[in-house]
Amino acid sequence: MQTTFEKNGFKKRLTSMLKVDFRRMFTTPLYYIMVGISLVIPVLILVMTSMMDGMVSVDPQTGAETVMEGFDNVWQIFGSLSSASAGGASMAGGMSLTAMCNINMLYFGVAVFVCLFVADDFRSGYAKNLFAVRAKKTEYILSKTVVGFVGAASMLIAFFVGAMIGGGVAGLPFAMEGFTVGNFVACLLSKILLSSIFVALPLLAAVIAKQKGWLSILLSLGFGMMFFAVIPMVTPLDATALHVVLCLVGGAGLCVGIGAISTLVLKKTSLV
Amino acid sequence: MNAIEIKNLTKNFGEKQALSGLNMTVPEGSIYGFIGENGSGKSTTEKIICGLIHPSGGEVKLYGRPHTDGDVRAKIGVLIESPGCFPGCSVWNNLLIQAANLGIKNPQEEVRKVLKTVRMEGAASNKYKNCSLGMKQRIGIAMALLGNPTLLVLDEPINGLDADGMRIMREVLIDLAQNHGCTIVVSSHLLGELEKIATHYGIVRGGKMIREMTAEELEASCPTFVALQAKDMPLTKRVLAEKYARVEEDESGYLRVYEAKNVQEVVTYLYGKGIIVSEIKRAKIGLEEYYIDLMKGKGDR
């Protein structure tokens, strides 16, 4: 008897893989832990820095006094205005607590999430099953990028919700000075679009490190550092449609490029 | 048509050559016992067949098409090293995930069917991490069976199983080959178990196929003999050697007489020489012994 084989098109394969990856993401505790952390962090930051605002700490050796400065405004936790970034204030701001503890640090959380999610594929042997029977490497990378991007977007939105709650609890002003609601939406959208780079990079690290999750986290933090400095510049609070387009094109372009490298790594290395 | 056809397969891991020109032919519908020492290249070959590692050279064809062909790949079921399940997920969900990956239209029905095939219907809700080794191996088989594969590649599926687990696995594999038309490549060190199910054998050594044969050919290569014990074994051996060209003492302390027609002939002959036989039986060389002899370089008997 002649064995016949049905044709499995790209669309069919990708759709089924996406279904599985989304199902996995939405059923894994890791996703809810990361989204939960993203929700809680801004609340903690805003509440705690507000409580410490104005506190004076004295260095026992030098006697120098340091006044703790909290957030002046809820929106500060999302970044700074482009005009301020362009000036000398950005450097000073970069050293302050409010500039360090903002939404941008969430990109490292995204990296950790993607690394652990992908490492789980290799650790459990799921990836081995996948590649043995059906999947093409390109589809795997594509599926993981899409799912990781949705995960990253969820975390950023959770951060936004957390910041609103935290701002309310801390009693911080919601007044917008120097930017509009439209600017802020563009800022958030730019950050979400930019997160695709912070999904593609850890994905590359994860396919290099395979089941070694810790190694992929280290690698992705290293890779991420190269792009981290760019985030405040391309996603200021007073972002415009141009920033959105820039992040869309840049994010997509880099995503495709890094994704191609990831696919190549998968093709050229052993999967077990 | 052959399910698998491998020609001159080579694989190097750095300086080390894992496969050096391996040839292999697995006929469609067979249960192919893939045998070899640790590090002989069995797993490497299986991983190459499954597309998990890339060969350094040679040709691998599945059903006459390149092994990288996506449509052919979709018809392979694999159990290599571990079943590839998420420990925290239930057996049911793990199988559903794989079913979804395969794009199966009625995943629930299909999962129910494979669970029934491996006799695991009652354990569907168990978390994978809570399953016993035997159950995990059967889940691996169930996973491999999703999508009605025509070719199953199973690496050590019976390792670590208890007697009952082995029996179930044996029955499952025979059922798959006989009633579902599956071609099965199964590697194992448990040659006695393999002998009960395999229709074809491939013996690999040092990354090369040193022998391929059918179960019938193995049967023909494994002669029967009369095994006996007597009080004075050295004397008995000497006396037997006068009549029979091949008399050997085996590891369990029996004298083996290869050319004897039957037990009665030997007993009568020894009785005539004044030797009383304390135990005597007719036996046959099995796969294990055949394999060991082959490894020792004794070749065909």
HEC-encoded secondary structure of B156-183:
CCCCCCCHHHHHHHHHHHHHHHHHCCCE
**Confidence grade of residue A87 (pLDDT, cut at 50, 70, 90):** very low
Is residue A62 one of the residues assigned to a domain?
Answer: no
| pLDDT value, residue B27 | 95
Distance from the A26 Cα atom to the nearest Cα atom in chain B, whole angstroms: 13
- Across A87-101, A172-186, A208-222, B167-181, least confident range: A87-101
Identify the CATH assignment for B2-213 out of 3.40.50.300, 2.40.420.20, 3.40.50.720, 3.30.70.980: 3.40.50.300
Entry pTM? 0.78
Q: Return the domain boundaries, chain B.
A: 2-213, 223-284
Q: Give pLDDT tens digits for A37-47.
A: 999 999 999 99
Provide mean pLDDT across the span A173-201. 91
Per-residue pLDDT of chain B (301 residues; tens, 9 = 90+): 899 999 999 999 988 999 999 999 999 999 999 999 999 999 999 999 998 898 999 999 999 999 988 788 888 898 988 888 988 889 999 999 888 888 788 889 999 999 998 888 899 999 999 998 888 988 998 998 888 899 999 998 887 778 888 888 888 889 889 988 899 999 988 898 899 999 999 999 999 999 999 999 988 888 889 999 998 899 999 999 999 988 988 888 899 998 888 899 999 999 999 998 999 998 888 888 888 888 887 655 4
DSSP string, chain A: ---------HHHHHHHHHHHHHHHHHH-HHHHHHHHHHHHHHHHHHHHHHHHTT-EEE-TTT--EEE----SSGGGGG---HHHHHSTHHHHHHHSHHHHSSGGGHHHHHHHHHHHHHHHHHHHTHHHHHHHHT--HHHHHHHHHHHHHHHHHHHHHHHHHHHHHHHHHHT-----SS--HHHHHHHHHHHHHHTTHHHHHHHHHHHHHTT-HHHHHHHHHHHHHHHHTHHHHHS-TT--HHHHHHHHHHHHHHHHHHHHHHHHHHHHS---
**Confidence grade of residue A81 (pLDDT, cut at 50, 70, 90):** confident
Which chain B residues contact residue A25 at CB under 8 A? none
Mutate to test the interface with B, among A117, A133, A272 (most CBs of B within 10 A): A133
Q: Do B97 and A125 touch (CB under 8 A)?
A: no
Provide mean pLDDT across the span A245-252. 94
Q: Give pLDDT tens digits for A129-156.
A: 888 876 688 999 999 999 999 999 999 9
**Percent of chain B topping pLDDT 90:** 50
Is residue A247 one of the residues assigned to a domain?
Answer: yes
Is residue A64 one of the residues assigned to a domain?
Answer: no
| pLDDT value, residue A130 | 85
Question: How many domains does chain A divide into?
Answer: 1
- Say which CATH topology domain B223-284 has: Alpha-Beta Plaits (3.30.70)
> What ipTM is given for this predicted complex?
0.72
- Could you give the 3-state DSSP secondary structure of residue B272? helix
Q: Do B150 and A3 touch (CB under 8 A)?
A: yes
Domain boundaries, position A17: 11-29+74-91+106-157+176-268
Q: Do A133 and B1 touch (CB under 8 A)?
A: no
Q: Do B76 and A131 touch (CB under 8 A)?
A: no
| pLDDT value, residue B133 | 86
